[in-house]
Chain A
Amino acid sequence: MIKSTELSKKYGSNCVLNIETLEIPKGQTFGLVGNNGAGKTTFFNLMLDLIKPTTGYIINNEIQVNKSEDWKPFTAAFIDESFLIGYLTPEEYFYFVGELRGMNKADIDTFLDQFQEIFNDEILGKKKYLRDLSKGNQKKAGIVAALIGNPEVIVLDEPFANLDPTTQIRLKKLLKEIVQNSNVTVLISSHDLGHVTEVCERIVVLDKGNIIKDIKTSEETLKELEAYFSV
C-alpha cells in the first residue's frame, strides 16, 4: 500500500530523516516509536505531502504523493491541532470533512452515533467552538474526523497523548475494530510503548531519522522495546 524509497529530509546539513526503504502492506497496523526528534512526524508530513522530501519519494497506493493529489480521497490524517478549524463547532467540522469526502449530513449523523462512547457527552451539542474545547476533546474530534468517509489509509500522530485513560482504552478498542473489520492501513506514532504494542501488528523504531528496529509484534515486543529505550 505504502512504499517509500530512499526517502530523506535534510534541513541545511541536519538530516532529520533517512529511510532507505520502507514498505507497509495493505491492511497493516503500523506503529512508529522513537524519542523526540526521531523523525516520526517528519515521516507523516512527508506522507501527506506537507513537506518536500530532500531525496526519494513515497508511493501511496501506486500514487506518488508529491506528484499527484489523487491520494487524498482515500487518505485521512490527524497530526495536530492545526488540522482543526477553531471557529467551527465539532458538528460543523464533521459535516465539513464529510462534505469533502462525499457524505451528507444524515450520513455523518449516523456515522457519529458509533462514537457516543468516546465522545462521552463532551463534544456534541455543547454549543462550543473547537478552539474552546480542552486539548483532549480537541484530539478526540480530530481523530474521529480522520475516520470519516471510510479512508483506506489513516495516519494518526500521537493519538493517545492528551487523552484520558478511559478514552485511551476505548480508542485502542476502536482502532483494533477498524483494522479487523476492514482492510484499512493504519499508521500511528506514539511515545507510549504499551499502547503501540497493543494496537500495532508491526513496530518500527526510529532514532535520529534512521530505522533501528523493525519488529513484528509478539509477546516479547514490549520487553524488547523497553530494554532498547531504557538505555
Chain B
Amino acid sequence: MIKQFLNQEWKQFFRSSYWQKSVALNILMGFLALYFIVVFLALGISLYPILKKQFPESDPLIIVNGFIFYWFLADLLIRFFLQKLPVMNVKPLLVLPVSRSKITHYVLNKSVVSFFNFLPLFATIPFGLFLINEDYNTTSVIIWIVLLTIFTLIINFLNFIIESKSSETELSFLPILVIASALFALNYFEIVSFSSILSKAINSITQNPVLLIIPVAILIGLYYLNYSIIKKKLYIDASLKKKTQVATTTDMAWTRKFGDIAPFLQLDLKLLWRNKRPRSSIFMIIIGLLYGLFFYPNPTYKDMVPMFVFVGVFITGIFMINFGQFIPAWDSGYYKLLMSQNIKYKEYLKSKYSLMIISAVALFVLSIPYVYFGWKILLIHFAAMVYNIGVNSYVLLYGGSFNRKQIDLTQKAAFNYQGTGAVQWLIGFPLLLAPILIFYLPYKFISFEAGIATLIILGTIGIIFHQKLMKFISQQYLASKYKMISAFEQNT
C-alpha cells in the first residue's frame, strides 16, 4: 500500500508539466537546499571551536543547550509559514478501498521525511563528532543527537496542530505570533526561564538515558493528537475544502478619470488585492523602499555612485518589475475571455503600462526622504524613475509577449515560482544592470551630471515614442496570441 502511495508521489512530482518545463528552476531550488545544507554543516563544524575560543571556561555543549529554546521557537515559526501538511492530495483516495486511518498515517509519516527535519542533522552530527573527539561520553553524545532529532519531530507535529487550530480563525498567523512572542517574552524577562529549564532537561536526559522516554512519549502523544485531528477532518467538507473568502465589492469610481482603460485598471487593482500571489508584490514595495537604508548609510558604498543607480532603479521599479514580469500571465486564467471579448490589445497593454508608471512615480515620491543622504541621491532616484518609465516598462511589456507560463492565482505566494521561466531571468538582468552601465560610461568619462542626463534622455525618448513602441509591442502580442492561449490552458 505504502509503496503505491510513494509511487504516486513520485509520479506527481516528475510528471507535472511544471517540473518538465523548468528544470532550471528545480536546479535553482536544489542549489538553495544545498546552500542551507552547507550553512548547517558549517555551523556544526565551526560551532565547537568557536565556542571553545570565545568561552574557554564554559562547556560548549551546555552553551548550545541554552540556545535550544530559541531554535525551537524559530523553527516553529519558520515551519508555520513554509511547511504545510499535504492533506489536499488524498481526496481521490477517500472513495477507494483504503482505510481512513491508513491514509492518515501515510500523510503524517510523509511529513517526517520533510527537508526541514533533516536539516538540523547536518549541524548536530558534526558537532557531536567534535564532542566525541573531545572525550565526551560517546553514549551521551549519541543520546543528545537522538534527542534533538526527536525535538525536531516534536516541532514538526506541534506545527501541524497549531496550524489546524489557528486556520479556523480569521487571522490565521496571529495565534502563532502571539504564542511565540509570549514564550519569548516570558523567557527574556526571566519570568519563566524556558531556556534554562529546557537546557537542564536536556542535560539530565543525556546523563540519564532512561529519561529519553519522556520526549518520546511527548512525540507519540503529539502524533496521535495529530492523527485524531486529521482523521476527523478527512472529509471533503472539512479540511479538504478550499477556503472561501467573503467578497468585498468596490466601486473604484476614481479610476474613471483614466478613460478607456478604466475597466482594465479596476480589474488589475482587484487582481492585485484579491489574490495572494500578486498581493505579495504590494508588500514587496515596503521591502524595496527600505532597500536604500542598506546602502546609503554604509560608508563602504560611499564612493560607489553607480551602485546608487542600481538602488534607485530598484526602489522606483520594484513594483514594476515584480508585477510587470508576469504580464500577461496574471490574466492566464481567463485569457480566452480577454481574447474573445470586445477588447483591443492596445488598451489592455496600456492599462498595464499605466499601472507601472503610476507605481514608479508614487515610489519616487515616497523615496524623497532619502534626500537626507544627499541631493545626489534624489537626483539619481529621479533619473532612475524616468528611465524606468521610458525604458524598463517597455522592456517588461515586450518580454511579456514571450511569456508562456500560466499562473494559478489561487496558489500561495511564498516560494512559489510558478510562471517563472527563462524569460524572467533573462529580462531581470538588463532591467537592473543596463542602467548602471548606461550611467557609468558618461559618469566615468565626463561627469556625474552627464550620467544622470543620459538616463533621463533615454527615458524621455521612450516616453516620446510611446505610441510607436506600444504599437510594436501589441503586434508582438498578436503574433504570439495562439501560442499564449494554448500555453495558458495547460495546467502546471
Q: Which residues of A contact B (CB under 8 A)?
A: 48-52, 69, 72-73, 75, 77, 79-80, 82-89, 91-92, 96-97, 99-101, 126-129, 131-132, 149
In the complex where A87-B275, A91-B249, A92-B249 touch, is A50 in contact with B333 (Cβ < 8 A)?
no
Q: Which of A51, A72, A91, A126 contacts B482 (CB under 8 A)?
A: A51
Interchain CA distance A82-B274 in the complex, whole Å? 18
Asked if B485 and A72 make an inter-chain contact with CB atoms under 8 angstroms apart, the answer reads no
Leading 7 A-B pairs by shortest Cβ distance: A132-B244, A99-B263, A87-B274, A48-B340, A83-B337, A52-B482, A72-B342
Interchain CA distance A84-B328 in the complex, whole Å? 16
Asked if A128 and B244 make an inter-chain contact with CB atoms under 8 angstroms apart, the answer reads yes
The residues of B that contact A129 with a CB separation of less than 8 Å are 244-245, 247, 274
**Quick check: is B344 within 8 A (CB to CB) of the other chain?**
yes
Number of A-B contacts (CB under 8 A): 85
Distance from B230 Cβ to chain A, minimum over Cβ atoms (Å) = 24
Asked if A128 and B482 make an inter-chain contact with CB atoms under 8 angstroms apart, the answer reads no
In the complex where A48-B340, A72-B341 touch, is A84 in contact with B334 (Cβ < 8 A)?
yes
Asked if A72 and B247 make an inter-chain contact with CB atoms under 8 angstroms apart, the answer reads no
**What residue of chain A has the Cβ atom nearest to residue B488's Cβ?**
A82
The residues of B that contact A87 with a CB separation of less than 8 Å are 270-271, 274-275, 409
Interface of A (DSSP majority class): loop
Distance from A150 Cβ to chain B, minimum over Cβ atoms (Å) = 12
26 CB contacts below 8 A, A to B, read A50-B336, A50-B340, A69-B344, A72-B342, A72-B343, A82-B335, A82-B489, A83-B334, A83-B337, A83-B340, A85-B333, A85-B337, A86-B333, A86-B334, A87-B271, A87-B409, A91-B249, A92-B270, A99-B263, A101-B342, A127-B249, A128-B246, A129-B244, A129-B245, A132-B242, A132-B247
**What residue of chain A has the Cβ atom nearest to residue B489's Cβ?**
A82
Distance from B485 Cβ to chain A, minimum over Cβ atoms (Å) = 5
Distance from B217 Cβ to chain A, minimum over Cβ atoms (Å) = 43
Q: Which of A82, A88, A96 contacts B336 (CB under 8 A)?
A: A82
In the complex where A85-B267, A87-B275 touch, is A77 in contact with B340 (Cβ < 8 A)?
yes
The residues of A that contact B242 with a CB separation of less than 8 Å are 132
Asked if A100 and B343 make an inter-chain contact with CB atoms under 8 angstroms apart, the answer reads yes
Interchain CA distance A228-B304 in the complex, whole Å? 80
The residues of B that contact A131 with a CB separation of less than 8 Å are 410
In the complex where A73-B342, A82-B489, A86-B409 touch, is A127 in contact with B337 (Cβ < 8 A)?
no
Interchain CA distance A91-B336 in the complex, whole Å? 20
**What residue of chain B has the Cβ atom nearest to residue A142's Cβ?**
B337
Interchain CA distance A89-B249 in the complex, whole Å? 7
**Quick check: is B172 within 8 A (CB to CB) of the other chain?**
no
Asked if B245 and A132 make an inter-chain contact with CB atoms under 8 angstroms apart, the answer reads yes
The residues of B that contact A100 with a CB separation of less than 8 Å are 263, 341-343
- What would 18 more interface pairs be, CB under 8 Å, given A48-B339, A127-B247, A131-B410? A72-B340, A72-B341, A72-B343, A82-B333, A82-B489, A83-B334, A83-B336, A85-B337, A86-B333, A87-B270, A87-B409, A88-B267, A91-B249, A96-B266, A99-B263, A100-B342, A127-B246, A129-B245
